[in-house]
Amino acid sequence: MMRLRLAAVAATLALAAAAAHAQDMEPRAYSASPVGTNFLLGGYAYSKGGVATDPSIPIENLRAKVNTAIAGYARTFDLAGRAASAAVLLPYAWGTFTGDVQDENREVTRSGIGDMRFRLTANLLGGPALTPEEFARREPTTTLGASLSVVAPTGAYNPEHLINIGTNRWAIKPEIGVSQPLGNWFADAAAGVWFYTDNTQFFGGNVRSQAPLWSFQAHGGYNFQPGLWLAADFTYYTGGESSINGTAKDDALASSRYGLTLSIPLADSLSMKLTWSNGLTSRGGADFETFGLILQYRWFDR
């Protein structure tokens, strides 16, 4: 019985990790860009908050403080006459989890490489492949795009641990999004769904499965000058019920988040993004407040 309860705890924490994917809020992800542009990314994020657990599990006040450093690279290119991009992101995370077990406070610390992420995006409408010179002369218009994100099981994982940095499974998300310029204002939205493979080395020798997790996000913002903009962000995600050895856990998510993103140009090719987000409603997952900083260096092909 105790092993089954511990496995339920691990399932809850794994569900919270999966919810983190759905919590992504990225304004202007489908706005037009010139081809032949390279981006080098580096950043840091700090998250803190509570993790919901099954009421039958003797763990209360489970909370987490997680630091994440990220490094990434992205490039835009011509795909059948349309603008497209490919990106790769590698995180490294460290943090502490605390909770009360039978009125005794416990704490565990974890650190290690996280699951690597890949993303391919292509404009379907309103985003022809343009050189930087042609792009500068264009008239901004509505763009419709699609993307495919993949999370690979490269993160640190130990099946004997309740809490891990990695998830030991693949995750794939197809998504469609639209971006609409409105003078100095802009608005965009996206909808997608995460699909997961099974974790066959789950805690206690169990197999953990998860149903698809739907995610929706919307953004609205204002361009003060080239490279300097502010956006208000919102995301909602639902679904993702987990099961252990085929037994459903009745832990589907239905949560929403809101936040802000500020982009600041530092030099001709260097910019910084400051991000903040917090939980608005939360059912079954993790309610985190997150602060982030991302530095982006850009250069064009010659």
Task: Report pLDDT digits (tens) over 58-83.
Answer: 567 778 888 999 999 999 999 999 99
Query: For the chain, what is the radius of gyration of the CA atoms?
Result: 20
Q: Among 44-53, 225-234, 279-288, whose mean pLDDT is lowest?
A: 279-288
- Three-state DSSP at 261 gives strand
Q: What angle do CA 171, 176, 182 make, to 5 degrees?
A: 140
Mean pLDDT along residues 34-46: 95
Closest CA to 70 of 33, 114, 12, 107: 114
Give percent of the chain with pLDDT exceeding 90: 61
Closest CA to 68 of 260, 225, 290, 226: 290
Decide if 37 contacts 75 (C-beta within 8 A). yes
Q: Which amino acid, one-letter code, is at 32?
A: A
- Measured between alpha carbons, how far is residue 250 from residues 54, 215, 253 in Å? 9, 19, 9
The DSSP code for 169 is: S
Closest CA to 245 of 199, 178, 191: 199
Name every residue whose Cβ is closer than 8 Å to that of residue 79 and which is 6 or more positions away in sequence. 122, 129
- Measured between alpha carbons, how far is residue 287 from residues 9, 20, 253 in Å? 16, 10, 11
pLDDT score at 1:
41
Give per-residue pLDDT as tens, 108-132: 888 999 999 999 999 999 889 999 9
d(CA 292, CA 275): 5
The DSSP code for 285 is: S
Q: Burial-class residue 226 by CB neighbours within 10 Å (0-12, 13-18, 19+).
A: exposed
pLDDT above 70: residue 5: no
* Count of domains for the chain: 1
d(CA 33, CA 47): 30
Q: What is the mean pLDDT of the chain?
A: 87
User: Confidence class of residue 232 from pLDDT cuts 50, 70 and 90?
Assistant: very high
Give percent of the chain with pLDDT exceeding 70: 88
If you write DSSP's letter for every residue of 19-33 in order, what string do you get?
A: HHHHT---TTTTS--
pLDDT score at 2:
44
User: Which residue in the block uniquely carries the two structure tokens 């763990």?
Assistant: 59
Decide if 66 contacts 28 (C-beta within 8 A). no
d(CA 86, CA 33): 12
Q: Tally Cβ neighbours within 10 Å of residue 37.
A: 19
User: Which residue in the block uniquely carries the two structure tokens 């400051």?
Assistant: 274
Q: What residue numbers bound the domain in which 96 lies?
A: 2-300
If you write DSSP's letter for every residue of 115-152 in order, what string do you get?
A: --EEEEEEEEES-B---HHHHHHSPP--EEEEEEEEE-
CATH number, domain with residue 284: 2.40.128.130
